[in-house]
Amino acid sequence: MFKINDNYLKLPGSYLFSTIGKKVNAFQAANPDKKVIRLGIGDVTQPLAPAIIEALHSAVDEMADAATFKGYAPDLGYEFLRNAIARNDYKDRGCDISADEIFVSDGAKCDSGNIQEIFSVDNKIAVCDPVYPVYVDTNVMAGRTGTYDASTGMWSDVIYMPCTVDNNFAPDFPKETPDLIYLCFPNNPTGATITKDQLQDWVDYANKVGAVIIYDAAYEAYISEDNVPHSVYECEGARTCAIELKSFSKNAGFTGTRLGYTVIPKDLKAGDVMLHSLWARRHGTKYNGAPYIVQKAGEAVYSPAGKQQLSEQVAYYMNNAKIIKTGLQEAGYTVSGGVNAPYIWLKTPDRMTSWEFFDYLLEHANVVGTPGSGFGPSGEGYFRLTAFGSCENTVEALERIRKM
């Protein structure tokens, strides 16, 4: 008689954004006349940039002709894309990463969920708290997290690194030594960043204790301040301890187009086994590459026209971030983030819980945000708003919030 993976049954509730979706749908069904503004999930709203559209049409035409038709892609991704990534995201920043250390995928969510597979189930993970739920949930599914305590919202075998106003939302080194350390900067959900010196300390720490840093740099394009690192490989020694995950969703609006990549330097080893080889084996066995037309679209992200158009798109969203941040501050809220990241992190008023404020905001302003507690216990009492709406909707949402 077959048996299921009962680690799945340990997961409390459903995936955060599915829960929010259901609540919003129920509210909209009960209030069909209300215009709900969604500043909850980190989904973009601006159309794909003209340079990307052009590349997509051109690639579609290639697929229509036997002479230029493309079947299965190379395991690690097309060279034209891996070369563009290596040059623009690494070489031009002085990072020593070569094209064959880059694995193209259909997105950073998949990669951040799948990467744990190449590690032993005995490894102990450390996560920021609050944190993007995928890191913890996928380790729960793998049986790496022990038991869940509903009263604290914590797993017995996970090392939580609280990020609160007390440490300026930058994690301290944990008391217990972790094997895998998930870091995400600019941070989702808090919008906080750390300096290059602070990240260097983490790299030194990981090399010292023999841990791997899984560095999620999905929001790198939103960095506006100097001395905030764009890649973990700006730090000395990162090649022996860090994996980097990147997305095209936020810098180029690919949430519905799907493209991302993972970097595993060949110097990152367990004994004489390269983690690069393990991930290559996984890619070759369980994955068949991102669509050719999407990889061509990814290449256009790095073209001169693409870069120009996308920097304008990022500026558009960051203008929203400014509208949200200043609007909330003027309305008396305590707010952080929104400077190097498209996320604004606010303290809920009147000691409301995160979900109480979610319901309150949905009911009174018809605005959807994300409850901080959905990202971990230290997120309780906080709330995330995103800058990914349209400018008009963002302005209107803040007007409504000010009137509450």
Alpha carbons 131 and 127: distance in angstroms, whole number: 7
Longest alpha-carbon distance in the chain: 66
153, 163, 178, 238, 280 from 208: Cα distances, Å:
30, 23, 12, 12, 26
Cis peptide before 130 (omega within 30 of 0): yes
Residues 286-315, interacting with a second copy (CB under 8 A): 286-294
Contact present, 215 and 243 (Cβ < 8 Å): yes
Here's the x/- map for a second copy, 141-160, by CB under 8 A: it reads as: x-------------------
Q: Choose between 140 and 192: whose C-beta lies nearer to a second copy.
A: 140
Min dist CB 256 to a second copy, Å, is 4
Q: Is 36 in the site for a second copy (CB under 8 A)?
A: no
Task: Using the CB atoms, write b or e for 55-66: b if 16+ within 10 Å.
Answer: bbeebeeeeeee
Q: By C-beta, is 30 or 64 nearer to a second copy?
A: 64
Closest separation in Å from C-beta 62 to a second copy: 9
Query: Residue from 36, 278, 305, 331 that binds a second copy (CB under 8 A)?
Result: 278
Sites for a second copy among residues 209-248 (CB under 8 A) = 209-212
Q: How far is the CB of 292 from a second copy (least distance, A)?
A: 5
Contact call for residues 125 and 179 (beta carbons, < 8 A)? yes
Minimum separation from the CB atom of position 376 to a second copy (A): 16
Give the residue, chosen from 44, 252, 314, 401, that forms a contact with a second copy under the rule CB under 8 A. Answer: 44
> Which one of 51-59, 83-91, 188-196, 330-338 is the stretch in contact with a second copy (CB under 8 A)?
51-59
**164 part of the interface to a second copy, by CB under 8 A:** no
Q: Is 173 in the site for a second copy (CB under 8 A)?
A: no
Segment holding 128, helix H or strand E: strand 125-129
- Interacting span for a second copy (CB under 8 A) from 230-238, 253-261, 300-308, 342-350: 253-261
User: In the range 68-127, which residues lie near a second copy by CB under 8 A?
Assistant: 69-73, 75, 106-107, 109-110, 113-114, 117-123
Q: Which two tokens stand for residue 353?
A: 């819980």
Query: Which residue from 94, 256, 304, 332 is in contact with a second copy, where contact means CB under 8 A?
Result: 256
Beta carbon nearer to a second copy, 294 or 401: 294
Interface mask toward a second copy for 345-374; x: CB under 8 A? ------------------------------
- Residue type present at position 109: K
Yes or no: say if 218 and 188 are a contact pair by the CB < 8 Å rule. yes
The reply to whether 391 sits near a second copy by the rule CB under 8 A is no
Helix (H, G, I), strand (E, B) or coil at 225: coil
Token code pair at residue 271: 């004994």
Please tell me whether residue 2 binds a second copy under the rule CB under 8 A.
Answer: yes
Task: Show Cβ contacts of residue 212 under 8 Å, excluding neighbours closer than 6 positions.
Answer: 119, 179, 180, 181, 206, 241, 242, 243, 268, 275
C-alpha dihedral sign at 15, 40, 149, 157: positive
